[in-house]
Chain A
Amino acid sequence: MDARQESERDRMKNRTEVERKSERELVVTRTFNGPARLVFEAWTKPELFMRWWVPKSAGISLRSCEMDIRTGGKYRLVFETKGPNPMEFFGRYIEVTPHSRLVWTNDEGHEGGAVTTVTFEDKGGQTLLVMRDLYPSKEALDDALASGSSNVDAMPETFDQLDEVLVTLDQGAGQQPSKT
């Protein structure tokens, strides 16, 4: 991709919004320039999922990614960290409706884990993605906000390296990531 195309792409980048919708709900929204079935595919095929879930230059990498995408199926993500212990995220899919809806639990750590619902909605060639984290109580969300949930702590403060990551990804586009 040349420089002109690249700046064009940056200009076209869609905005990610986050809002605390209620005492126990956090909502992320984003539009994608593609049909819902492709966004859903990128979310549910481990080899594709692994390519975008962890910014590559963040100093951590995904050691393994098991996703049994069906209602009742389990998932487990294991991260390699700089520390001695790998970090794990796991839970269960409560609902899987192809191309439109995914619901899963976040069972790592504690009882206060949220239930995450992602909806994929076709909007004339684009997809409106809405991700809701519903916590069991106001206190659980407050705690997550106060302590920094594991999800966020997993990411070192290296978001400024992101441009670098995107360039790397771009160069690597078309190559299949190696499976381990």
Chain B
Amino acid sequence: MLTIDNLHARVEGKDILKGLSLSVGAGEVHAIMGPNGSGKSTLGHILAGRPGYEVTAGSVAYAGEDLLAMDTEERARAGVFLAFQYPVEIPGVSNMEFLKASVDAVREHRGEEPLDAVTFMKKAREACKVASLDQAFLKRGVNEGFSGGEKKRNELLQMLLLEPRLGILDETDSGLDIDALQVVAEGVNSLRGAERSFILVTHYQRLLNYIQPDKVHVLAGGRIVRSGDASLALHLEDKGYAWLEDEVA
């Protein structure tokens, strides 16, 4: 599904990723953990094609294609979805208009007809239930005045409607109370399937109590320094990240 090879990336003149390699198979859930500043969020932004994030070396293959050669919207249409750590507010454009534009764009790419308004509304309402987001949020401006938790649930809502092949959750768990965390986890679990993969970028092990990862990686100093199964996350929870400093050095 996704093969990252020796990825180097720079942000504002500063090298952040320094040789990151990672392979995620179809249907797998990978957790990427690591201390602040290790490059976790940068990885998500690079995969989504955010401006200002410059790849200086390495490659990313997604479903056999060169992901880095694709425009941001092409990646999204091909099934890559990044749940933002800090979702953007777009006042004046309703959530509904935004969601319909997104879903239509992705469906069109797949050669599917756009959904009629009634069918779409029905799907959106169902997704609202799963995301535990009141339907009133569909009429409000995109993320406008949403609380931190509501923004995260709105990201989940989008993911539920777009049904990506690769979902990347960038610290979606941070700032969530336990109820909201469970909502997000249930949403992700409901989407899990043989053809759909996830990368969970997180600082804490907590999320992994609810979403069982196939693999856990530790990112430090811009590289993956340790990989293992779910027990690695528990180890990190127990020992913290301090022990990594020796490994990076």
Are these two chains actual partners, yes or no? Answer: no
Q: List B residues at the A interface (Cβ < 8 Å).
A: none
